[in-house]
Structure 1
Amino acid sequence: MHAIVALLTFCCHNASAQQPIEPLPLIGVNFAGASFGAEKLPGRIGWDYFYPDIAAIGYFAGKGANVVRLCVLWERLQTRLGSDLNESEMKQIDAVIAEAHSKGIRVLLDIHNYAAFEDSRIGSDKVSVQDFADLWRRIAARYRDDHSVIFGLMNEPVQLATETWLDAANAAIEAIRTAGADNMIMVPGNGWSSARNWLSSSYGSPNAAVMLRTRDPRNNFVYEVHQYFDPGASGTHPNCIDAASATATIAPFTEWARKNGHKAFLGEFGAGADSNCLEALRRVLQFMQDNRDVWIGWTYWAAGPWAKDYFTNIEPDGGADRPQMAVLEKFMAAGRRN
């Protein structure tokens, strides 16, 4: 955990005595558009899928974000398994990284594929664990000299055995380190990487038991979980559970991480704009602040030039901030001032 400890120290040691919220090291948003159009591969940039523009990155930098989770598709980075990285697509990612870096923002590169390539799961006859490791070996070789880039192994693994996902994650980590990259790695769990279900057996062997066998020779990894606050926790309904219950969805996972000496990152979470949802959002953000020995940060879902009427979209609406931003900004701005 040496690199994580250094990150915590670097980000937090100068917190102002006048600032009531001591910042978490990594706070920001998801940019979702580059993972869209999976049914239209390879798709057309600006039509089927979108990368964030300069104005969007600048807006969130101004609000206080210091990380963006950039969601991309495996099939666009490698048009076939085992192939070289698609240079035209990688240049789009490079441009986002460069613009973010110029604004003091780190990029968490997220493979947004649910543990699949072209609808075949990792560990199947069509997609091997080593195919997944090969992808990350190539990405790691490209960004090993830029530690501002964080490697998000996979978005929400699902429909495979937890043990298979562990094998894939460990193979990818080994490939990254063998390529000479010391970058921070975000490791999700099976079952949509749900914080609420981390200890559950509803998707097979619980993450709480299996993912403890994650192996990183650099010990520079963080467990990434996701959690929404609508009934069913799917992130598809604008209403929320009672705000007072929101923190209970991540509390057991928090205790698991603390007990086992691990750090955590809330890679996706979102809520509607009514007063109950906004209070749920505030309580969860404050809970992470209060449990900073475990939580290193979060990225809200989501931003990007898509579905502007979607209830969790945090892009400005006609130039006006969304209601959720008033809650998020109190925690985001704290991070940028230090």
Structure 2
Amino acid sequence: MFGLLCRVLALAINISLLGSAAPAHARIQFNTNSGAPLSQVERFKAGPIPPALVANAGVNVGLFSLFGPVPGVINYNYFDATDAEAAYLAARGVKYVRIPVVWDILQSSPGDPLNAGAIASLKRSIATYARFGMLSMVDLHNFNRRTPPGSTTMDGTTLVYVNSTQIPQSWFVEVWSKLSVALKGNPGVYGYDLMNEPEQTTAADWVTQAQAAIDAIRANGDTTPIIVEGVSNGQPDFATANPNIQTLKDPAKALHFSHHFYPVGAGDNASFNGADAAGSGVTATKLNDRLDPFASWCASYGFKCNIGEYAVGRDSQLWMAMEDAFLTDAERYQIPSFFYFFGANGARDENNIYPFDGVEPRQWAVMAKHNGVTGLPVMTRLLTSVPTAYRSSPITATLDLRGIVPVNATYTFNDGNKGGSFSPASVSMVAGASNFFQTVTYTTPSSDQNVTISVSNNAGQTSPTPVTLVVVGISQNAYVAPSLDNTQSSKAFGFKNGTPSFVGGSTLTDFITPKSGTITTDATGIISDKVLNPSTALKALLPQSGPATIMVEVNSLASSNGAIIGNFGAIPNGTDGTSGTNQQILAFVASGKVYNITSGAPGGIATPQRIVLSWDNKSISGIVTDGTLIETSTSAGISIDQFGGRPDSPDQYFANRITAIAVWPFKGTGAGMRSLASRTTD
């Protein structure tokens, strides 16, 4: 699958695998003569089976990268397999690994010898897997293309397909002839996969190209099994896309065929998110529906076949059910499979089943079961989506049980009667389920407190350790400020110096305290005809030297003398602001005039709906709704002093209605501030 490969092999990937005894199943006897369909009785009669056809859930291991120098450099774009990874795979019953190698790393130009370092590394890796009981399939993972002759680097941009002037078919035949010489007779090699997902070629041309490589390998006296994939690999109908592939001839009668299976991708939902997949109609039998016609085609001609790649996600029980059903069918057909993929240096996505940070990927519970392995390490965890949450806000709590023996059980969530609620309140495990996990929604209490979330069960199972959640601040259903610019986080709320920052909203009393008297609130915000002060919590989020940004949204009221007001003050350099000369108002609007950041002179700008201030230890910027930016260079910094005072007379004040406040722990760009002030980011 090209999209998945580009995501994964863009980084070099280190990998390994092995196996223990597979479960017993009905055996299939295959005819070794290609081209002649077998009767139903012949196809499924009992009898011995070649070892390489025992059904097993193996993995693709990424020891080679599609990027970097040409030819390759050890520990940069190709790697040795490790004993630790091989042992991990062996403990999960893996019997076969598929090693994607990269032509460009092996050879720079036609006629060049193969990269001796890369071949030595490949042999060491094959030997490592063999020590742990695994056989290796060597796969030329180039999609029928590579960099032109003489290239010194792979960057994914300059690629030429085989059967072109620069990459003639003879070069493809040459590299396989030389690989055959290097690997002939190696007891750890399961087979040679001629080309991963051959692209930009017709079915007829691909048969000609594959036949030429088969003939060259056999001319060396090499009887290693050869695996052939078809064009349009990964698409549902292998036979229709490859109408003549069964005409390939192998003097050694050791020809295998391979197909790839993904539940999402081209023509499907491209996401491995379980909810997205289910919403697009993906069901637990999606892979089986694709495997059945391929397996029937293989059996009808008596061919040995394998599943070179498959993958499922991990965030939904849909994937576990899908993988279980798929591997059950693979066993029935006696076809080995290779999950894509396993690698310590690969992307940490849902398709990489390497145990990052010691966490066992969920797919292993299904694979190990089908490999006849029980007793995987037990992991019981209770997780919350965030360590700190706002009041009356929904978060997720996940019960994650890996490696346990599934039984009929009900697990019930609780928060110690702290006032929150779970939906659903309990979840059920069914005996025989694979790698049980379930996510519920927890709505936090309406007051600030620490909440301990735990789970109990009615079947005597070991419950995971409870988790503590800090609930603090305004509920998340209040106003959520947008990003200040596209280089910063998408929301205003987050963490700063370990303290949760707040989100502006209707509960503005978290931000504001009255300088004197009381304040009034309505559905839109805070109304006051007195000076308002920032709360201690708000000041803590706005350090004098920054970096910080604050946005105040006002819906101005007419005062008794008709002035339209929306303003706030900021004291430079920490002075007390008791006189007009010391109190510097960064953006003060009165009667439709904005007072400049430095001089205090009227600016003649229409009354804004929003005022934005942003500062660090170099400069201070202010902007209002019409987008006029006022800026001064200073290292003094500022501290927010008041909302609603006059710069020329601190004891005077005007009516205000403040409808929203938001803060960010960084200094915004002029463009970001202008966008925020003009509301274009809402």
Deviations 1:238-279 (A, max 9, x none): 134211333111212222222222121001000101210111
Task: Indicate which of 206, 211, 227 corresponds to 2:245.
Answer: 211
* 1:141-156 pair list within 5 angstroms: 141-149=181-189, 150-156=191-197
| Residue number in structure 1 paired with 2:161 | 121
| Residue number in structure 1 paired with 2:328 | 286
Q: Could you tell which deviates more after superposition, 241-250 or 133-142?
A: 241-250
* 1:77-116 pair list within 5 angstroms: 77-116=106-145
Q: Does 1:28 align with 2:67?
A: no
Q: CA deviation at 1:108?
A: 0.6
Q: Distance in 2 between matches of 1:331 and 1:198?
A: 25
Structure-2 change in CA distance of 1:93 and 1:326 (3 Å): same
Would the aligned equivalents of 1:228 and 1:234 in 2 still touch at CA under 8 Å?
no
Q: CA deviation at 1:129?
A: 1.8
Q: CA deviation at 1:49?
A: 4.7
Q: Does 1:242 align with 2:288?
A: no
Gaps (5+ residues) in structure 2? 1-30, 34-46, 148-158, 374-682
Deviations 1:136-187 (A, max 9, x none): 1111112212243121111110111111111111111111111111111111
* 1:120-139 pair list within 5 angstroms: 120-139=160-179
CA RMSD of the aligned region, Å?
2.6
Q: CA deviation at 1:197?
A: 3.1
Would the aligned equivalents of 1:30 and 1:299 in 2 still touch at CA under 8 Å?
yes
| Residue number in structure 2 paired with 1:178 | 219
Would the aligned equivalents of 1:52 and 1:304 in 2 still touch at CA under 8 Å?
no
TM-score, L = length of structure 2: 0.43
Gaps (5+ residues) in structure 1? 13-22, 201-205
Between structures 1 and 2, the one with greater strand share:
2
Query: The residue matched to 1:318 in structure 2 has which SS?
Result: helix
Q: Distance in 2 between matches of 1:91 and 1:159?
A: 32
Q: Could you tell which deviates more after superposition, 66-75 or 237-246?
A: 237-246
Query: The residue matched to 1:63 in structure 2 has which SS?
Result: coil
Q: Distance in 2 between matches of 1:321 and 1:220?
A: 37
- The structure that has the greater radius of gyration is 2
| Residue number in structure 1 paired with 2:259 | 225
Would the aligned equivalents of 1:38 and 1:73 in 2 still touch at CA under 8 Å?
no
Q: Does 1:275 align with 2:317?
A: yes
Q: CA deviation at 1:307?
A: 3.6
Between structures 1 and 2, the one with greater helix share:
1
Q: CA deviation at 1:306?
A: 2.8
Percent of pairs with identical residues: 24
Q: CA deviation at 1:328?
A: 0.6
Would the aligned equivalents of 1:187 and 1:222 in 2 still touch at CA under 8 Å?
yes
Would the aligned equivalents of 1:185 and 1:222 in 2 still touch at CA under 8 Å?
yes
Structure-2 change in CA distance of 1:24 and 1:216 (3 Å): same
Greater RCO structure (CA 8 Å; 6+ sep): 1
Q: Distance in 2 between matches of 1:313 and 1:31?
A: 10
Deviations 1:291-333 (A, max 9, x none): 22xx2x1111101123442111111121221000000111224
Q: Distance in 2 between matches of 1:66 and 1:234?
A: 31
Deviations 1:57-80 (A, max 9, x none): 121012111111111100111121
Q: Distance in 2 between matches of 1:98 and 1:134?
A: 25
Q: Distance in 1 between matches of 2:364 and 2:249?
A: 37
Q: Distance in 2 between matches of 1:141 and 1:291?
A: 33
Structure-2 change in CA distance of 1:68 and 1:284 (3 Å): same
Q: Distance in 1 between matches of 2:350 and 2:254?
A: 35
Q: Distance in 1 between matches of 2:347 and 2:181?
A: 36
TM-score, L = length of structure 1: 0.85
